[in-house]
Amino acid sequence: MIEDMFRLNGDTAVVLGGTGVLGGAMAEALARAGARVAIVGRNAERGQDRVRCIQSAGGTAIFHAADAQNRDSLMTTSDRIAEEWGPPSVLVNAAGGNRADATLPPGADFCQLPLAAWQGVFDLNLVGGVLLPCQVFGASMLAAGKGSIINIASISSVLPLSRVVAYSAAKAAVVSLTKFLAREWATRGVRVNAISPGFFPAEQNRALLFKPDGSYSERGEQIIRHTPMARFGEAQELAGTVVWLASQKASSFVTGQNIVVDGGFSAVTI
């Protein structure tokens, strides 16, 4: 039956950044589809809250604290997950974000953007967000001969956005690395794809999109006018895409793709 194609029973999914709004919603979706979900992040309180939420809905989840920018930390977490549930068959890399010192205010001089800020954004989104997790957890997938890696990029990887040049460049690099790994691992049973969300309100961008009274900011209004669906996305609207890419039955011939979920934002050019 068609619904069986989207069942993840027997799969172990690791979700880095599962303590955040988008990563957490994807972790919950994978659990609802039947996967055992290991949430990995630095915030134990939020991680345990997400585990309780999944468990209260009848799912299976655990939390492991780890620093995605530290290989030893990830190795320790990988070993612990393998001891409990075996090697993962799904990896979602949802950690990342921007930095205030890498954001250019209106009229700012790009030539004065601090190198440390630029490097920090790349470390957060590319090195810790994708490179190291793919090396650590990808190794066990390659050894098992199966797996689906889902890297979370951004609409800014497709359309470089004003003011967040370092973030846009880092997310474009995420898509490039995704395609490289897809090519390298295609014959070894491991698929690698990316999801590029459009504008989904979360902790780190809420002040950019909304005024304190809850109305749209100037930036928020610009985005809404540019989005054919005339609204922001909701975190649960990523659920179908992540489950589809995670499922070997549903997406067995899909690799090296960047799936854009943006309400049509990238379809508008003028």
pLDDT along the chain (270 residues), means of 10: 89 96 97 98 96 98 96 97 96 93 87 94 97 98 98 93 90 98 98 96 81 87 93 96 98 98 89
pLDDT value for 270: 63
| Token pair in block for residue 207 | 């002040």
Distance CA 61, CA 40 (A): 11
> Would residue 167 show up in a list of annotated catalytic residues for this protein?
yes
Q: Which of 118, 122, 167, 200 is catalytic?
A: 167
Question: Which CATH architecture best describes the domain 2-198+235-262?
Answer: 3-Layer(aba) Sandwich (3.40)
pLDDT value for 177: 98
Domain boundaries, the chain: 2-198+235-262, 202-232
Which residue do the tokens 């989005």 mark?
227
Query: Which residue type is seen at 164?
Result: V
Q: Of 162, 150, 235, which is closest to residue 197 (Cα–Cα)?
A: 235
pLDDT value for 210: 86
Sheet holding 90-93, edge to edge: 60-65, 36-41, 12-16, 90-93, 147-152, 190-197, 258-261
Query: Burial of 160 by CB count in 10 Å (0-12 exposed, 13-18 middle, 19+ buried)?
Result: middle
Beta strand ranges found along the chain (DSSP E)? 12-16, 36-41, 60-65, 90-93, 147-152, 190-197, 258-261
- Give buried/exposed letters for 79-114 (b at 16+ CB in 10 A, else e): eebeeebebbbbbbbbbbbbbeebbeeeeeeeeebe
pLDDT value for 162: 79
